[in-house]
Structure 1
């Protein structure tokens, strides 16, 4: 907040309220998609766009800095489903059983889930301000998505392209006025935005019709489930091998946002996993159960291969980051040195920064209370207090790696970092599956929050928003989201079987499988051989990609993404096929626009956002319908028995 002689106010009631409203929608959307496929998105660009459009409709246009607070608050609110483990860790605890794990399933009550969320909701936020000074102010890491969002906000508010501020202390302009050019900071199709590419009326129309169309199709699929489970390749392949097609516009929209290279990587994984390895495991008797069974079926069998690919890709991708971090330390990067060097470059006045005392006291309080809460919920048999403290410490170190990886590559390897924490806790608290899962959850929460929120701080840095205002927005958004996410998950578990046909929660099985493997070393038959082969192959591909990226090679974008390839194993073909269509649309649109000498603007990302949000809105409606006992109207066409909601599915 500032006086009448200072810069415009940015931490305002309308900015926070808009951020919370948008973030709540994103929270439900992320929980819905996360439980289905494990996919969660920070949606910062979409939040800034929707916030701008809503403010114009309400005849109270936001300032650029207010828009930064809107999208910062929305992101903090919308990503709690992943940060608090509701799409992975919490469902994994519910999959425990006496025979395999020696303990019964752990189903957290609403108060316990609330306490768990409070225990891990603030760690990543509190450690972000000190990291910001190093990676954004001193090293000026690009943070492509954060930079792209700043570029979008500049377009929306008719500002010059944002560049790194170079003003002196106390004379901070809203954005730099010199022309800047952003290369490889993808919005859609990897193209920079055109300053004339957006008009309000031209944005509302595609956003509205795409959202309504997606919502109507989703509602139709709720009452007639076959709509989202079409046996495109025949009933036999659908029933026996899970090859169906879901014409979900939301997943097509996700494919557009992901881009063609990523969706191609996922499609390659789908072919290898579901067309080659799944039938091989089934026919050879390595996975004798039904194909869709996560324990004895080939779907569970290929999850192990997916796990190996993810771990190998994440570890190799992190090696340059670790090496650079170690080099910085070896050169004498101490807190004192960082303070002196970075303050010389800091463009903000102290009143707009987050004080170090807040960080220290807040972190100490958060970790202390979090440790007590975890011990209260899970007891000594779950995770011991000293182990919780160690988990927070490991999470802090891994968060730094996550931030650096995201800043340099635009990829936050949270799943891989969580697995690293699991590996460490296999030594710290051996044979304890619960402690292993909790430690992984703490590391994932810190890495995810610190990384994604750093993107927002990069946006604010380029637009000239106050880091303290963003910090407030992050705290408010995360606190509000604790109640929203916990309540939503509690309602989902009462309305649906989780895991179940509608929400298989594949990432929960990944977490639990690794914890069990680290406890007793037991693997499904022959899976170890394939895990080794694909881990080595994934590591080599990832190393090649890292090497080419370091040399700014143009072939980098043609090298498959290991994580995206693994997700092709993780999800059934129906979701991947829809995303591939979206990726193909993105590529065709980009080619068409280039042929006309245009960059494409943000029209396609507006449509894609509408597709994703449309299904997210209806997910709230269908959740209410299911809770009220209103279900499927007709199971016509569901002969393959894979339609969610139909008897026998």
Structure 2
């Protein structure tokens, strides 16, 4: 019996599950994995790129003898995102670099640098338990409550547009904070409806199908970004241009990085988000940094994270992040409390019986409950053992690790609901406007909650605090990602079991890809270091230290309170405006994006603002319709070009091939390669 015949006879494998789709998803996901690790270590920015994965998968399928179906394209993007986001899920851009910054004298523990083998063990410990959290609550949040999951809905829209199919019937209820279905317009068919985003008033209307020219746009943007990145490797000053003068570049870190990938990320993020980020950059680096320096509160070099202005403004950044995340989560928490403690009392038995028959999928297409229970128990049990094996009893106690998995499970439900209602996963900042793609930063609100718990469960242990936060973050992120995929699959008719398989396969492959890539970066570069500062790691470690001893830099507490109060009010106003679907809600500054401007040096923010301006001008003046995706194709090429070239740079660095010239470094002092 051939393998194909055997595969077809397996009733547990849905018909739309195909090896070409999985292979294509893994190929795209591996590229995204390197790209996300590169940018995550550099700036804390990671892109899920589910829309871009679907688009690239569609283009690749055109090269096959039999192009892939819409359902297979959904599987492609689900597998790709599961593979590509492991640097975030397993904490390779935050937790692991933070453990490397631990200090024996200050923290009571030596720095921890995981080898390739121990990195595999850590990855296996956190890579799966979140995957088993989504299937049990899929029916509740997608079918019963009909939560919007805007990113998943937008991906389903894109897939239908690419295959010239009618828009998916979302049937969303009109609820505050949700994307909703507009009234049927005159002349439209019964099933032809539009999704109106509370952040964008122009829905996806006229399909702009990717023609063969889409390949040319993707290719030339990829090549242009790759060549510029390679040139910057040999001449580092290209990415550290002192446009504001040598003094500001050398002493105050004001330089410009003309990276096409940053421009592409700005396009994907959108003008309002990049504007918030640059507003934070101006306040943090143009106002607070000089104040802290000249007042003697941060007497060291500006870029020093210990006693310099960069380390001082980090605390204000942390206050803004926490205030924004807390206020943004309150409506979701309130909704959850109302549903649990009030809504359940008013449900009649007849309604319960109706719920039991509301499932839209047959049993063989669902993920069996026994799989979920067995998989969750196995992932938790094996994870506790592996974490103990990797970090030892002094790192984190097995009982504390078990508590981390339990806390992570409950907080993952909160993350799924927040993502479904607002398109914001508390693990990160993420937002989608039609085809402009998901944006996310390595900023974890739920991770901070877990750190608060473990400051009480295992007090004084910095390592345990970081590890526990990583466990919670992994579960919340994976549960949210899979639920977005399940929403897309629900709209496109893909079996939940198919996407479950894709998530598991992508996670397994990404364990080895991510760990290998991180090990290579560790051998070639100091992490954190000039080239890869890993800013998110500083946030995690600083918060853990604050919970342990409560010591802050001089006068930082006053500024933290003021900025937290201001951005708590701003976040509350933004939540209100979004729920009321006021058109200018998207222009209210985002607190997390504002804080990112503090977290990264100005060189990273300016290029993204350029991308945001390009995005705004294009969609206002030059887009053929609101569904025009030409700019997204170009932006994807920009991002992938630098991400893929980073692999070449890594290989060159590993084999001792260095820069060709350090010209300009003496003037700017900003070239990480030459410092």
Name the TM tier (shorter chain).
over 0.9
Q: Partners in 2 of 1:278 and 1:106 — Cα distance?
A: 31
Change in CA separation of 1:8 and 1:197 when aligned onto 2, cut-off 3 Å: farther
Write the deviation string for residues 465-498 of structure 1: whole angstroms up to 9, x where unpaired. 1100000000000010000000000000000010
Cα RMSD, aligned residues only: 2.2
Match of 1:377 in 2: 390
Match of 1:172 in 2: none
Match of 2:75 in 1: 69
Contact 1:242 1:572 in 2 (8 A): yes
Q: Partners in 2 of 1:129 and 1:308 — Cα distance?
A: 35
Q: Partners in 1 of 2:460 and 2:404 — Cα distance?
A: 16
Write the deviation string for residues 558-606 of structure 1: whole angstroms up to 9, x where unpaired. 2111110110100110110000000000110111046x7x325111111
Which segment drifts farther, 260-269 or 406-415?
406-415
Change in CA separation of 1:130 and 1:572 when aligned onto 2, cut-off 3 Å: same
Contact 1:132 1:457 in 2 (8 A): yes
Q: Partners in 1 of 2:64 and 2:340 — Cα distance?
A: 51
TM score, norm. by length of structure 2: 0.91
Q: How does 1:479-628 map to 2 (within 5 A)?
A: 479-593=508-622, 598-599=625-626, 601-628=628-655
Match of 2:670 in 1: 642
Q: Partners in 1 of 2:489 and 2:618 — Cα distance?
A: 30
For residue 8 of structure 1, report the CA deviation from its aligned partner.
8.5
Contact 1:270 1:573 in 2 (8 A): yes
Match of 2:438 in 1: none
For residue 200 of structure 1, report the CA deviation from its aligned partner.
2.4
Q: Partners in 2 of 1:190 and 1:41 — Cα distance?
A: 24
For residue 640 of structure 1, report the CA deviation from its aligned partner.
1.4
Q: Secondary structure at the match of 2:131?
A: helix
Match of 1:468 in 2: 497
Match of 2:108 in 1: 102
TM score, norm. by length of structure 1: 0.94
For residue 58 of structure 1, report the CA deviation from its aligned partner.
3.0
Query: Does 2:242 align with 1:231?
Result: yes
Q: Secondary structure at the match of 2:668?
A: coil
Query: Does 2:131 align with 1:118?
Result: no
Q: Partners in 1 of 2:307 and 2:204 — Cα distance?
A: 49
Q: Secondary structure at the match of 1:200?
A: coil
Q: Partners in 1 of 2:579 and 2:207 — Cα distance?
A: 33
Show structure 2 runs of 5+ residues with no match.
1-6, 173-188, 428-443
Contact 1:141 1:408 in 2 (8 A): yes
Match of 1:47 in 2: 53
For residue 550 of structure 1, report the CA deviation from its aligned partner.
2.0
Q: Partners in 2 of 1:593 and 1:336 — Cα distance?
A: 54
Q: Partners in 1 of 2:201 and 2:648 — Cα distance?
A: 35
Query: Does 2:473 align with 1:444?
Result: yes
Query: Which of 129, 134, 145 is the equivalent residue of 2:140?
Result: 134
Contact 2:14 2:365 in 1 (8 A): no
For residue 339 of structure 1, report the CA deviation from its aligned partner.
7.9
Match of 1:173 in 2: none
Change in CA separation of 1:601 and 1:3 when aligned onto 2, cut-off 3 Å: farther
Q: How does 1:181-220 map to 2 (within 5 A)?
A: 181-184=194-197, 191-220=202-231
Q: Secondary structure at the match of 1:115?
A: helix
Write the deviation string for residues 47-100 of structure 1: whole angstroms up to 9, x where unpaired. 001011011023331100000110000000000000000000000001011111
Change in CA separation of 1:81 and 1:496 when aligned onto 2, cut-off 3 Å: same
Change in CA separation of 1:4 and 1:194 when aligned onto 2, cut-off 3 Å: farther
Match of 2:254 in 1: 243
Q: Partners in 2 of 1:475 and 1:185 — Cα distance?
A: 33
Change in CA separation of 1:224 and 1:341 when aligned onto 2, cut-off 3 Å: farther
Show structure 1 runs of 5+ residues with no match.
167-175
Q: Partners in 2 of 1:17 and 1:635 — Cα distance?
A: 42
Q: Secondary structure at the match of 2:212?
A: helix
Match of 1:343 in 2: 356
Aligned positions, number: 634
Which segment drifts farther, 245-254 or 320-329?
320-329
Q: Partners in 2 of 1:43 and 1:470 — Cα distance?
A: 17
For residue 190 of structure 1, report the CA deviation from its aligned partner.
7.0
